[in-house]
Structure 1
Amino acid sequence: MISPHPVVEELLAALTLDEKIALLHQHQPAIERLGLDAFHTGTEALHGLSWVGIATVFPQPVGLAATWDPGFLAEVGAAVATEVRAKHAQDPSLSLNVWAPVVNTLRHPLWGRGEEGYSEDPDLTAALAIGYTQGLRGDHPTVWKTVPTLKHFLAYGNETDRATTSSHLPPQALHEYELPAFVGPVAAGCVGAVMPSYNLVNGRPTHVSGELLQHLRDLAPEPIAYVSDAQAPSFLVDEQRYFDSHRQSHAAALRAGLDSFTDNSEASAPTIERVTAALEAGDITAADIDRAVRNLLIMRARTGELTGEDPYGVGPEQIDTPAHRALARDAVARSVVVLENDGSLPLEAPRTIAVVGPFAAHLVHDWYSGTPPYMSLIGDAVRERFPDAEVRVVSGADRIALRSRTHGRYLAVAGDDVAVAATAPEATASTHFDLEDWGDDTSSLRAVASGLLLSGAERFLRAGARRIGEWVAQETFRLVETDGGVRIQHLGSKGWLRVQRDTLALVADGTEKTAEVFDLELVRGGLAEVSAACEGADVAIVAIGNDPHVAGRETEDRPDMRVAERSRALWHAAAAGAGSAVLTVVSSYPYELGDLAAQANAIVWLSHGGQELGHGLVDVLSGDREPVGRLPQTWWASAGDAGELFDYDVVGSAMTYRYANARPAYGLGHGLSYSRVEYDSIELSATAIDAPPLTTAHTPARPAGSGGSLVACVTIANTGARPVDELVTVYAAAPDLAVPAPRTRLAGWARVELAPGERRAVEVDIDPGVLAVWDSADGAFRVQPGTYELRAGRSASEPLVSVTLLVAGAAPGARADARIDAAAFHAQSGLLTSDRTRERGQSVEVAPTREGGWARYDRVDLAGATGIRLLAARRSLPSTAPAEVRVEARSGDAWIPVTDAIAAPDTDRYGWTSLEAALTSTAPGVTDLRVRLSGAARVAELELICAEERA
């Protein structure tokens, strides 16, 4: 694809080969003779401009997704792009290539980075990403406000060993679940770059998965660039050990389609040396380099940099504008989801309000948050809204003093110096710390005198941090009871706290044996304080949740879905004393609420909302705003219902709301209004249709107004006394079919405002293609004939009205090709998809934890076949089972052997060898084949041998 920007081709022709290679690193040098300034890829803009100072902070992406409103996300994206341009006007080195949004689906609630994604549903994810990227891109026909980069391609949803784990993606899971979230925004033409993920997919690192990268690139209406994740090019050798040398790995990445190497921070020399060596060795060509440089120059040209165009005219002053503050508050209010309500909400002029919990007077950031210009806290916002009420605000943290047993003195903060040492002979205000328990043996200590956190960012402990943060959190500790006292471990360094002998300074360089033992004296009990604050209160707002830097974040998956024990105790203390109790969950992800939900008068959830958290939440709790937020992901009753964190085969393993049998606590789309909405009926514009033709293009569910040949008309009524903004969702439920279809899947949605007493027929556009599944026999999406049910209701798990849809069509015929890609199976057990070579193709092999397994291939025509040819090899992992392949055919309900055992060749992993075996018994005709593998056997292809070929 040639650049539509003539200036790019002129520059490409004028650049020397050495200059081109230098441009392949993230930090591109200035080339003064051609008027090119220094440039680098990547400004973080996930939910606001990040890491470069003051900027508007919007709710986390999962919170923005609770709006279910792509148009609103476009408004947020436009505001973020304006602030990126404004900061660029202050500092031209700030890149207009933004690394946002994250479109990895929220497949599993234990993923540590779930806060960064939008939804469990790939089509909803794609729609919201299109909205946000359209806002980031801007509306000028040629000059983009910023150039968005999608992250992280592909099948990335675990932090544990994220650079070395391989995501097993069978064909259905790949095409139906993982690809659509990326395909939508890329095909919409509002994305200029894509970032491959750290992990491997089907045995091959994504950074060298050329077939996947090219597939996505082919769907883009204009060129896109691939930019690597940080240090991922070196990981190909250093972590993944997939290549023997960096020369080989960099060459393979370039050939696969990677354009920019984010490697070794600002040091570009290693990248230049490796690419140059690859070129000299003949591993790559000058054309490979030209392709990459062209894509990067196109990205820069889109911003107007290369031609000097600037149709936006954004000045440095357009950061933290009144309009952006209002939008941030609006975003928080829209993100609030009411999970339960017995009528206690909205609050009716309470006389006494207790606001308790770790977020009562506290606001936190995540790794990709910017620096907010101000912070609206929940307690403060309640006081503002209810000035005549008595508002009691307490955190529930224990206030403690720590006395060194060795030295007989208390830890104290040394005034403005913020250094901490065991210097105080008595417990005074300077020795008091608030101990916040975040669960999972993780706590923080906040100096009461200054309000600053104890931090171990240096060897010497200082109470100088405003928040838990940084890549490795330095503000968290583990307290271990011992001999009636406590030892304390600094979790960032893993060192244990001790007190130096002469200086009495507190340091974090001890071992568990040399750690200081402290007497922990309780100055004020947090639970008792909560009980006192809530006793007799008309209402208690109990604000619990997570800190995004603790027990679930980038590099760290969540250990479980349980609410921290301290927060549970705090909740029970609050609920016991107040007239009504509102459980307010401020979190990046779902929880198991269990008995907490049973005790609550109301439950609301919102993500960490940034600077306007307090105002936005209280706007809804007070009834000044109607609750419109709806869950973008399932809240399972337990983590076990969600399936295995490392299992990406959502189809075969029955995961996510689409396939799981477990009933969730709160389903996708759940959220209550303050008015009762009745669902009367659902009718279709046609109750019988013909199955559409096969297609290789995914058909997504879309919001109303997007078009579709089928219209679902859902009649709803607002039977309450308040206006309502209702999310009307339509889901498709499939019958049992030859190729498994989702039990429930989103088919379309609409938002509609209803006045009290209003009844309305809401039209939801549906494309019948949303019923399609990926049929490996045809390598295409197929809508199978059958009787489907279309449902509407309050969530995916709570349908209220339904209607049937008959899809007519012929049953699928036999495979047309006698050669079958072994990875194109319909079902499997005990196998994994793996790489055929280091750069291309797929195969299947036995999973490392198994001795054998099988893959099934449907609708194979055995008429005239006399044998089977296999392309086989042997993996390097040892196995006690023989490395053999057997082929079976379905006969009625039984499977019968049709070949003798075929020994895998004695080769290395990529030593593919053609093997033949005669068919020993089978009846001619169309049937299903099952290939059984044992031990170290690998298979890449199987092919029927007919009698004519043998003759």
Structure 2
Amino acid sequence: MTAAMPDAPSFRDSRLPFAKRVEDLLGRLTLDEKISLLHQFAPAVERLGVAAFRTGQEALHGVAWMGPATVFPQAVGLGATWNTDLVRRVGEAVSREARAMRARDDRVGLNVWAPTVNLLRHPLWGRNEEGYSEDPGLTSAIATAYTRGLRGDHPVYWRTAPVLKHWLAHNNETGRDVTSSSVPPRVLHEYDLRAFRETVEAGATAGVMPAYNLVNGRPNHVSPYLAEHLRTWTDEPLLVCSDAGAPSNLVDSEHYFDTHEEAVAAALRAGVDSFTDHGTDSSVTTGRIAGALERGLLTEADVDRAVRRHLSVRLRLGEFDPEDDPHARTAEFDTPSHRRLAQEAAEQAVVLLKNDDGLLPLPPGTRIAVVGLLADECKLDWYSGTLIHRSTPLQGLRGRFGAERVEFAEGVDRVRLRTGSGAFLRVPEAGGAPGGARGAEGALDPALLAGRTDLPPLVTGPDGTVLDLVDWGEGVLTLRAPDGRYLSVAEDGRVRASAEQPGGWVVRETFRLEPRGDAHLLRHLGTGRHVCVDADGVRVAAEGESAAEPFELVVEERGEDAVARAAARADAVVVVAGNDPHINGRETEDRTTLRLPGHQRRLLRAARAANPRTVLALVSSYPYAVPAEALPAVLWTAHGGQAAGTALARVLAGDVSPAGRLPQTWYADDADLPGLLDYDVIGSRQTYLYFEGTPLFPFGHGLSYASFSYTGLTAAVTGGSVRVSCTVANTGDVTADEVVQLYTRAVDPPVVRPRRELAAHRRVRLAPGEKSEQVFEVPLSAFGFWDVARGGERVAPGPCELLVGASSEDVRLRTVVLLPGEPGAPRPVRASGLSAPDFDEHAGAEIVDRAKASGDAVAPAAGGRAELLYRDCDFGEGVTSVTVTVAGAGTLDVTAAPSSGGPAATATLSPAVPTAGPYDYTTLTAPFTATGVRDVRVTLRGRLRLAGMDFTG
């Protein structure tokens, strides 16, 4: 520890507790200086020697947006490893590179916005690639491992300060800033909160970022759950960082507040500590905070609370103790160990979904046709760093099997576009960047960046250029010049071949062909305008201009023909299909279907028809519904970062036995999916926990080149946990990993419980013939559920089945234990009434905000009709009236039928006139005679909000 100089302030004395140092520095700051620290870009306080600080450095699977860095597999791929030790090591590598990069570029931040803890509830979510799993336990285990790696293991100083994204119940992109996720209490506590809670309680998290969406009618950035739940899970002063632009959304798009001063005050009081808004311009945010203070909407104490959390993070990062900070001189960047780790992670992420007749692994000497739109691609996503090294499936297979034995057919359609005058579109020479868009090691050639305006735009001519056309589904296509440059539209509206890949916040490389008689119009999707031709070249129409050039699509070669030729000459075919992470399913855009795009389905059919020994290798950010029954072998991997191709080739060749496992359910058809905005996983039977259909591939599924036996299952309740053990043996011929999975199932639950629920897992490596005893200690609390009748967690006593196996459906062993617990009790409604959201079942209801600051109510969805059921309500010796607290306009029916038959108690209530606003509640009372224990049913009609009911006698 370093003592401060005699005349140095106490906040620089590392011998003092952090809390004392924070208070010292806080006391030295003026009010204006404190306000300035609440923006993402906090300026320096030069008079105190305090440097500028930026919250927020993207680091989801490597340091992002700051240039070259080691690129690891996407988060969903890390989730597919089911390997917490591996993920912790990835987090360590990422944080070491962040430190090394910051040493040479102070724009690189140490407050890292990662990992994403949102659950993969719905596979059409555009950001599926960013999460780990649909299961909250697996998600929290992987997220905890990653945050521990990011934090480092020093007891005082953190290597980086991780912030979990995105709080809370955020699984849709379309309209994400105005849609509300209706989350009943059981779903809230058992599902959405759980992944965050277990990660925060593990102690390696510096904060969270609220999501853009609303939950139960209230924007996440003013959520009372930040105080009611998040801050109760730890004694650490968690830093809450807003998402970009979200504070302004509270007024501008959500219209939740009338003024920005009210909005920023509500967010700060709710617990937001750092405002990410208006880019680097902090003046707007600080002006709003100052205005809120002037209007009495905030006090200086409110500002101080947020500043304390901000300063605490900076102290933990060693900012004020450079001599004591063990991470200050970290220089590990693109090291051999990081490269090996990137390859190991990519290998462990590969999931073998199907392998009939032992087609895989491919034996030495196999002549392979590697085909498909992703066969020679190493795709990046929005949160990737710039590749230093690059490996595609084609490169990997040629390196492993020999270039002479691997034939390639990409399968693009090769076309020319003829204008109405008979001329063709022509791509001029790049002028200084011939020979393709990639430089050494596959790095981006800076001469070919999208947005360049000094490259020549497309022109027309008698011959024209043959372009590669790929339809990525839903009519979204890209066009590419023969040297690899994608057609792109810069800010000046000219169409150029200037992009190495589609990308950017607004993708400038996607188009759509729109039929117009015998021709097509070409619409540029980034601007929404049609392509037209003038004397200066090809451009998009100006805003408000109706010009549009009709084009005839002249097909020179169909992609499936090239694929069929290559497939027919091979011993085996590897079709590499999947998605481009910047197209059709990405941040701001959800998918609309599970189906593979039509172009890729055609290529797959052509390969299979030409050669039945066809392997489908899916490289994608999310699940697909694919014709697995028609294929002998199917693999899946997320986009695997810099070592993706090498990893896939090693698995196909058998150098590595695949052991990835699906972190989410793969559904067979779109019809199996609930609505994207239906967040009630229990009521709509979502995810493997509740899904009652037959999946294409179940949660936890993944095959191996080895085989494994499970024997000797024992289970016993010991103290506060259940101890489970079994023996797993490798009965195959190769060393391989097995992922041992333990599930629980309540045998006779008092409420709807999961069909099965992951309680523990372990990835273990076994040599042929090797055995290993696997022991799991599962705390009794893991068997609990949220009891809406008591407003808390409860373990129900009784039998519980334990299932051990290789997936959620591949159960090898099972036994039953008798759990101790607390019996349920009827709801004491005479004494405490009923809170409207605490229903047991519902139909057509949504939970809404009771008031802007806190509380929930229930309303019919879209002003229609809602049915609510409250089980086992105890009216004691009897009640004679019911009083409801409601707002709005509509009708409410209350019915309580005795379980033994007889007359039911009924009441119908309706405000005589609508209340003044949705938060202006009134009470209505009606006769209501009931005794004993009964189920209460409530019907809501119209635009009526129900906050609660009281019963008196």
TM-score, reference length from structure 2? 0.92
1:839-858 alignment, distance < 5 Å: 839-858=853-872
Could you say which residue in structure 2 is the equivalent of 1:564? 597
Could you say which residue in structure 1 is the equivalent of 2:948? 941
1:711-750 alignment, distance < 5 Å: 711-750=723-762
Shift of 1:389: 4.9
Which secondary structure does the structure 1 equivalent of 2:799 belong to?
A: strand
1:144 aligns with 2:162: no
State whether residues 40 and 54 of structure 2, in contact with CA within 8 Å, keep that contact through their aligned partners in structure 1.
Answer: yes
Which secondary structure does the structure 2 equivalent of 1:717 belong to?
A: strand
Could you say which residue in structure 2 is the equivalent of 1:492? 526
1:442 aligns with 2:464: no
Which secondary structure does the structure 2 equivalent of 1:85 belong to?
A: helix
Could you say which residue in structure 2 is the equivalent of 1:358? 373
Could you say which residue in structure 2 is the equivalent of 1:181? 195
1:544 to 567, 577, 580: 577
Shift of 1:552: 0.5
Residues 255-264 or 747-756, more deviating: 747-756
Q: Which amino acid in the other structure matches residue 426 of structure 1?
A: D
State whether residues 350 and 389 of structure 1, in contact with CA within 8 Å, keep that contact through their aligned partners in structure 2.
Answer: no
Could you say which residue in structure 2 is the equivalent of 1:243? 257
Which secondary structure does the structure 2 equivalent of 1:909 belong to?
A: coil
**Per-residue deviation, residues 529-580 of structure 1 (Å, max 9, x unmatched):** 1111111311111100000111100000001000111111101111222361
Could you say which residue in structure 1 is the equivalent of 2:400? 385
Counterpart CA distance in 2 for 1:489 and 1:936 is 42
1:912 aligns with 2:921: yes
Q: Judging changes above 3 Å, is the alpha-carbon distance between structure 1 residues 680 and 301 closer, same or farther for their aligned structure 2 residues?
A: same
Counterpart CA distance in 2 for 1:591 and 1:220 is 39
Q: Judging changes above 3 Å, is the alpha-carbon distance between structure 1 residues 250 and 24 closer, same or farther for their aligned structure 2 residues?
A: same
Shift of 1:452: 1.1
**Per-residue deviation, residues 323-348 of structure 1 (Å, max 9, x unmatched):** 11111111100000000012111110
Could you say which residue in structure 2 is the equivalent of 1:46? 60
Which secondary structure does the structure 2 equivalent of 1:413 belong to?
A: coil
Could you say which residue in structure 1 is the equivalent of 2:111? 97
Could you say which residue in structure 2 is the equivalent of 1:155? 169
Counterpart CA distance in 2 for 1:824 and 1:4 is 41
State whether residues 480 and 487 of structure 1, in contact with CA within 8 Å, keep that contact through their aligned partners in structure 2.
Answer: yes
Residues 410-419 or 577-586, more deviating: 410-419
**Per-residue deviation, residues 284-329 of structure 1 (Å, max 9, x unmatched):** 1111000011111111111111232453446585321211111111
Could you say which residue in structure 2 is the equivalent of 1:328? 342
1:262-277 alignment, distance < 5 Å: 262-277=276-291
Q: Judging changes above 3 Å, is the alpha-carbon distance between structure 1 residues 526 and 290 closer, same or farther for their aligned structure 2 residues?
A: same
1:34-433 alignment, distance < 5 Å: 34-309=48-323, 311-313=325-327, 318-342=332-356, 343-387=358-402, 389-406=404-421, 408-416=423-431, 418-427=455-464, 431-433=465-467
Could you say which residue in structure 2 is the equivalent of 1:658? 689
1:676-715 alignment, distance < 5 Å: 676-680=707-711, 682-686=713-717, 709-715=721-727
State whether residues 67 and 335 of structure 1, in contact with CA within 8 Å, keep that contact through their aligned partners in structure 2.
Answer: yes
**Per-residue deviation, residues 896-947 of structure 1 (Å, max 9, x unmatched):** 642432223632211122333332x32x32333233322232221222324x
State whether residues 524 and 540 of structure 2, in contact with CA within 8 Å, keep that contact through their aligned partners in structure 1.
Answer: no
1:790-801 alignment, distance < 5 Å: 790-801=802-813
State whether residues 364 and 547 of structure 1, in contact with CA within 8 Å, keep that contact through their aligned partners in structure 2.
Answer: yes
Which secondary structure does the structure 2 equivalent of 1:277 belong to?
A: helix
Counterpart CA distance in 2 for 1:387 and 1:293 is 60
Q: Which amino acid in the other structure matches residue 337 of structure 2?
A: A
State whether residues 480 and 486 of structure 1, in contact with CA within 8 Å, keep that contact through their aligned partners in structure 2.
Answer: yes
State whether residues 899 and 917 of structure 1, in contact with CA within 8 Å, keep that contact through their aligned partners in structure 2.
Answer: no
Q: Judging changes above 3 Å, is the alpha-carbon distance between structure 1 residues 514 and 351 closer, same or farther for their aligned structure 2 residues?
A: same
Counterpart CA distance in 1 for 2:551 and 2:241 is 50
Q: Which amino acid in the other structure matches residue 583 of structure 2?
A: V
Shift of 1:179: 0.3
Q: Judging changes above 3 Å, is the alpha-carbon distance between structure 1 residues 857 and 28 closer, same or farther for their aligned structure 2 residues?
A: farther
Which secondary structure does the structure 1 equivalent of 2:806 belong to?
A: strand
Q: Judging changes above 3 Å, is the alpha-carbon distance between structure 1 residues 276 and 719 closer, same or farther for their aligned structure 2 residues?
A: same
**Per-residue deviation, residues 724-770 of structure 1 (Å, max 9, x unmatched):** 21111011122342222111111111222222233444223322322
1:472-871 alignment, distance < 5 Å: 472-500=506-534, 502-509=535-542, 514-578=547-611, 580-594=613-627, 597-680=628-711, 682-686=713-717, 709-807=721-819, 811-816=823-828, 817-871=831-885
Counterpart CA distance in 2 for 1:799 and 1:269 is 59
Q: Which amino acid in the other structure matches residue 641 of structure 1?
A: D
State whether residues 682 and 791 of structure 1, in contact with CA within 8 Å, keep that contact through their aligned partners in structure 2.
Answer: no
Q: Which amino acid in the other structure matches residue 397 of structure 1?
A: V
Shift of 1:355: 0.7
State whether residues 423 and 463 of structure 2, in contact with CA within 8 Å, keep that contact through their aligned partners in structure 1.
Answer: no
Q: Judging changes above 3 Å, is the alpha-carbon distance between structure 1 residues 936 and 504 closer, same or farther for their aligned structure 2 residues?
A: closer
Residues 795-804 or 244-253, more deviating: 795-804
1:19-34 alignment, distance < 5 Å: 19-34=33-48
Which secondary structure does the structure 1 equivalent of 2:162 belong to?
A: strand
1:932 to 927, 930, 939: 939
Q: Which amino acid in the other structure matches residue 572 of structure 2?
A: V
State whether residues 55 and 372 of structure 1, in contact with CA within 8 Å, keep that contact through their aligned partners in structure 2.
Answer: yes
Counterpart CA distance in 2 for 1:402 and 1:896 is 77
Counterpart CA distance in 2 for 1:312 and 1:3 is 18
**Per-residue deviation, residues 459-479 of structure 1 (Å, max 9, x unmatched):** 011111011100011111112
Identity of matched residues, %: 44
Q: Which amino acid in the other structure matches residue 474 of structure 1?
A: R
Q: Which amino acid in the other structure matches residue 792 of structure 1?
A: V
Residues 385-394 or 834-843, more deviating: 385-394
Could you say which residue in structure 1 is the equivalent of 2:894? 887
Q: Judging changes above 3 Å, is the alpha-carbon distance between structure 1 residues 895 and 171 closer, same or farther for their aligned structure 2 residues?
A: farther
Which secondary structure does the structure 2 equivalent of 1:266 belong to?
A: coil
Which secondary structure does the structure 1 equivalent of 2:101 belong to?
A: helix
Q: Judging changes above 3 Å, is the alpha-carbon distance between structure 1 residues 202 and 3 closer, same or farther for their aligned structure 2 residues?
A: farther
Counterpart CA distance in 2 for 1:234 and 1:443 is 34
**Per-residue deviation, residues 497-530 of structure 1 (Å, max 9, x unmatched):** 1111x22334454889632122333333321111
Counterpart CA distance in 2 for 1:927 and 1:11 is 60
State whether residues 801 and 817 of structure 2, in contact with CA within 8 Å, keep that contact through their aligned partners in structure 1.
Answer: yes
TM-score, reference length from structure 1? 0.92
Runs of 4+ in 1 over 6 A off after TM superposition: 510-513
Could you say which residue in structure 2 is the equivalent of 1:703? none
Shift of 1:399: 1.9
1:456 to 486, 489, 493: 489
Which secondary structure does the structure 1 equivalent of 2:742 belong to?
A: strand
Residues 170-179 or 266-275, more deviating: 266-275
Counterpart CA distance in 1 for 2:307 and 2:228 is 17
Q: Judging changes above 3 Å, is the alpha-carbon distance between structure 1 residues 513 and 274 closer, same or farther for their aligned structure 2 residues?
A: closer
Residues 355-364 or 521-530, more deviating: 521-530
1:872 to 872, 876, 886: 886
State whether residues 84 and 96 of structure 1, in contact with CA within 8 Å, keep that contact through their aligned partners in structure 2.
Answer: yes
Shift of 1:276: 1.1
Residues 472-481 or 150-159, more deviating: 472-481
> RMSD of aligned C-alpha atoms?
2.1
Counterpart CA distance in 2 for 1:810 and 1:507 is 68
Residues 163-172 or 204-213, more deviating: 204-213
